[in-house]
Amino acid sequence: MPPDKKAAHYERLYKQLTELLQKSNDTIAQMATISAVLFHKMDTFFWCGFYRVEADNLVVMPYQGPLACQLLPKGKGVCWAAVNRNETIVVPDVHAFPDHIACDSRSNSEIVVPLRNKQGAVIAVLDVDSDKLNSFDAVDATYLEKIVALIHFD
């Protein structure tokens, strides 16, 4: 999708999600809603969901798509890299990323966006996989960061 069309599509989804997330302040309900909307409205999203940070693992939270790893062991893979660097990571080819964790062998590219609590600590990530190479760019990073900023944390 051309970047301007993708941005316009994200704008519509952002507006829709802003309205939907006003219905509940429950973090899990909001994550479930975001993963359902993104998975069903973004053509390239093969898997889309959340992991929360625990001491030894990232633990899976609401998601849509094929069965995923429940636990991601500390320090390994793209999701932990996003936690440790405290920044969004775009991976054009997951096979070229050292330590990438393949929950599903059909994944080829990926974006991971950190979620921060009110104190600024990374407490979870949004992870999106595509079965095509090079699916994600700065437009995805910008809008997915805006979308996760809608989630309420106590």
User: Which residues lie near ligand SME (CB under 6 A)?
Assistant: 47, 68-69, 72, 77-79, 100-101, 103, 107, 110, 127, 129
Q: Which strands make up the sheet holding 71-73, listed edge to edge?
A: 71-73, 57-64, 47-53, 122-130, 109-116, 89-91
The string of DSSP codes covering 79-98 is: HHHHHHHTS-EEES-GGGST
Cβ neighbours for 120, distance < 8 A, ≥ 6 positions apart: none
Nearer to ligand SME, 11 or 93 (CB): 93
Q: Minimum distance from CB of 152 to ligand SME (Å)?
A: 24
Radius of gyration of the chain measured on its C-alpha atoms: 14
Nearer to ligand SME, 30 or 107 (CB): 107
Q: Minimum distance from CB of 95 to ligand SME (Å)?
A: 11
Nearer to ligand SME, 37 or 125 (CB): 125
Residue, CB closest to ligand SME: 77
Nearer to ligand SME, 3 or 66 (CB): 66
The amino acid occupying position 86 is N
